Homo-oligomer: A and B are copies of this chain.
Amino acid sequence: MLSERRLQVLRAIVQDYVGTEEPVGSKALTERHNLGVSPATVRNDMAALEDEGFIAQPHTSAGRIPTDKGYRLFVDKLAGVKPMTGPERRAIQNFLDGAVDLDDVVARTVRLLAQLTRQVAVVQYPSLTRSTVRHVELLSLAPARVMLVLITDTGRVEQRMVDCPAPFGEASLADLRARLNSRIAGRRFADVPQLVEDLPEAFDAEDRGTVSTVLSTLLETLVEENEERLMIGGTANLTRFGHDFPLTIRPVLEALEEQVVLLKLLGEAGDSGMTVRIGHENAYEGLNSTSVVSVGYGSGGEAVAKLGVVGPTRMDYPGTMGAVRAVARYVGQILAES
């Protein structure tokens, strides 16, 4: 096990490197942090830390920089989550309170996160799977064409066209609408399938086909996970990434365009609490030199979606984690109110 002081040294190295972006040497360390020991001692500690794989030197006779493993230890053991200050909290709340609809909430959240962390922000739209049905509407657009509109408690609206196997009268449509809503309004998506299972039986033989078609479209809409969307922002912050620019930034931009990748990334993160994935801990190769800080958010106590930021492994973890947590909390509040 590493001695207390060695951990202090690691912490100091991480902090300095994050601040200066330059490898940090033993002398500079003792000057900027009063560790109470001489550079020589620190050198010994650094050698030990390097043996253990927590730090590395880019080339001989340069200072040390933390490795992914070093950051991991830092995040797990050495760094807290830096809480937002009072003014910051108020600013967050004010900014989010101005939102007019769900799209706007998400858009504002993205901007906010990007600004607070000065990194790339990713916000997943509140997912369908965990929310409840507020209302289902059926519109007859043509004799054998119905539009299905699904409204969720998070304010999201999904619509689908349904081509019916047979013409479907207004009366039957109204009937179906009423029965459907009385059964599933307010219920969780997961429960819907069994709630509507026997619904076709309540209809005349001639309408049964259409009812089944509509229902299966509804169920499809409910489970369609890949319909999940997300919004990203703050990509301009990528320009602050590093010196060896094009190489670093390119794969990140590519990853950000692949929503599938990002969704998977957020999905892998733990359901509760904040998740920090550092460098190579990210499965997607293009993000191997970035860290992803993510957390679930939601209206009730339950998380309906996730949000987070993507930044260089050399990031201010305490600050970033604080901002992410705070934003998630306030977004949850906003969603609960609306």
- For A, the interface residue count at a CB cutoff of 8 angstroms equals 26
Residue A135 interfacial (CB < 8 Å): yes
Shortest CB–CB separation between residue A294 and chain B, in angstroms? 21
Shortest CB–CB separation between residue A100 and chain B, in angstroms? 9
State in angstroms the CA–CA spacing of A338 and B173 once bound together: 23
- A250, B235: Cβ atoms closer than 8 Å: no
1/0 per residue, CB under 8 A from B, across A246-259: the answer is 10011001101100
Residue A73 interfacial (CB < 8 Å): no
Shortest CB–CB separation between residue A6 and chain B, in angstroms? 37
Minimum CB distance partner of A286 in chain B? B236
Minimum CB distance partner of A246 in chain B? B239
Residue A137 interfacial (CB < 8 Å): yes
Minimum CB distance partner of A247 in chain B? B239
Residue A234 interfacial (CB < 8 Å): yes
Nearest 5 A/B pairs, CB to CB: A236-B253, A239-B250, A236-B254, A239-B246, A157-B159
Partner-B contacts on A (CB < 8 A) = 101, 134-135, 137, 139, 141, 147, 149, 151, 157, 159-160, 233-236, 238-239, 245-246, 249-250, 253-254, 256-257
